[in-house]
A = this chain, B = another copy of it.
Amino acid sequence: MEYRVSAPEVLREPLVVPDKLLMGPGPSNAHPRVLEAMSRPILGHLHPETLKIMDDIKAGMRYLFQTNNAATFCLSASGHGGMEATLCNLLEDGDVVLIGHTGHWGDRAADMASRYGADVHMVRASSGSALTLAEIKRALETHRPSVLFLTQGDSSTGVLQGLEGVGALCRAHDCLLIVDTVASLGGAPFHMDRWEIDAVYTGSQKVLGAPPGITPISFNHRAVERYKRRQTKVKVYYWDMALVGDYWGCFGRPRIYHHTISSTLLYGLREAIALACAESIPSIIARHQDCAKRLYDGLLGMGLELYAQEQDRLATVTTIRVPQGVDWLQVSQYAMKTYLVEISGGLGPTAGQVFRIGLMGQNATSERVDRVLQVFRDAIKSVKPDFAFRRNASKM
């Protein structure tokens, strides 16, 4: 039979992948050991060596989440999959969910939850700020949700949401607490068990510096109990915690094929987690916070203004107000074109209003902070030659 659609010429050309410095809100640059691991041969999804790597990842993620939860595993999807899976497993039609809004990720969670048939309510922080415990308490009392969703680090605003005390509040209101730590884990303390957080997920491609496409997640016993008491099946087979958890050997039952996991991504994630465990959580957090401080000093020294309030700043993603008369897109494009350095614009509620500079994983070093400051300064100067940098900026 005749083939009507012919093979595209473009695929005769070689693959082109430049080596950039990824100082946006993620992905970050991966460690050479992570990249090397991903060229290893493919393994089957139930081979003992694959299961061993999955077990290593579970153990490492329990450390990084600070949890003893049996139901700690990964989803074969981007970080969005973590948001989908926590909401999909813990909500049924008509359930009330309260979303703490500190930026774009609250909007995204609200969209997903409403698609799953939940009754969605929002509690909004003021611009550039986190929610206070009092605001959360009041909203819990008003809406009586069965699930509260919070984003620890909202990468669109650079706001860090405090979590201490929220778990206890949720228990008092018979409410489960889901926390998105995609952009924050490793950049701020996180204690899943001590803080009584019921479900969490993170991003592989942020502080961990693994490839995107595989998403660590953990559910505690309260979340598993809620799942067991569901009146209806979870709407999505692919996110069903019992099925994925059985494949990951989380519930003491035989491993059952659920989907074909990407051995390549497992290798990369395993090596990234091994590097993080070797460095230790306190060192990683201190490194990110020291670098963030250095970045703030540099930016403020240039006369720029930060978007997030000082007490609510996320170390991993810094949001900088776009100065009047500066075209953010031109600045970003100049940095990329001239230096292969990524400096991002805003997202969702901050689109057009801020620049975003990420300090994550391999990129959280004083050298890279200085590099991105120099590139940023040069890019602004190039786009707006008369931009009035503060006098003391020359000290940099």
Contacts and interface: CB of A to CB of B under 8 A. Distances in A.
Contacts of A19: 41
Given A3-B66, A10-B56, A40-B17, A264 B81 contact: no
A51 to B, nearest CB: 12
A355 to B, nearest CB: 15
Interface in A67-94: 67-68, 76-81, 84, 88
B235 A11 contact: no
B112 A237 contact: yes
A280 B7 CA distance: 8
A234 B115 contact: yes
Contacts of A42: 22, 27-30, 35, 205, 211-212
Contacts of A80: 237-238, 258-260
A386 B271 CA distance: 47
A45 B59 contact: no
Interface stretch (A189-197, A322-330, A365-373): A189-197
A203 B260 contact: yes
A39 interface: yes
A42 B274 CA distance: 19
A3 B281 contact: yes
A134 B220 CA distance: 52
Interface in A82-132: 84, 88, 108, 111-112, 114-117
A270 B15 contact: yes
A231 to B, nearest CB: 14
B26 A260 contact: yes
A39 B43 contact: no
Contact of A49 (B16, B114, B268): B16
Interface in A333-362: 336, 342, 347
B68 A12 contact: no
Contact of A1 (B40, B43, B191, B238): B191
A238 B280 CA distance: 33
Copies of this protein, total = 2
Interface in A1-47: 1, 3-8, 10-12, 15-20, 22, 24, 26-30, 35-45, 47
Contact of A27 (B5, B26, B234, B260): B260
A148 interface: no
A303 interface: no
A200 interface: no
A265 B267 contact: no
Instruction: Kindly name the residue among A18, A77, A112 whose own CB sees the greatest number of chain B CB atoms within 10 A.
Output: A77
A257 interface: yes
B11 A274 contact: yes
- Candidate in A7, A19, A258, A282 with the most chain B CB atoms within 10 angstroms: A7
Interface in A249-299: 257-265, 267-268, 270-271, 273-274, 277-278, 280-282
B8 A238 contact: no
A22 B38 contact: no
A236 interface: yes
B212 A45 contact: yes
Given A11-B274, A78-B261, A211-B262, 15 more contacts: A11-B277, A15-B53, A17-B263, A20-B44, A27-B45, A47-B336, A47-B342, A78-B262, A88-B236, A114-B233, A212-B261, A212-B262, A212-B263, A212-B264, A262-B265
Interface of A: 1, 3-8, 10-12, 15-20, 22, 24, 26-30, 35-45, 47, 49, 52-53, 55-56, 59-60, 62-63, 66-68, 76-81, 84, 88, 108, 111-112, 114-117, 189, 191, 193-194, 203, 205, 211-214, 233-238, 257-265, 267-268, 270-271, 273-274, 277-278, 280-282, 336, 342, 347
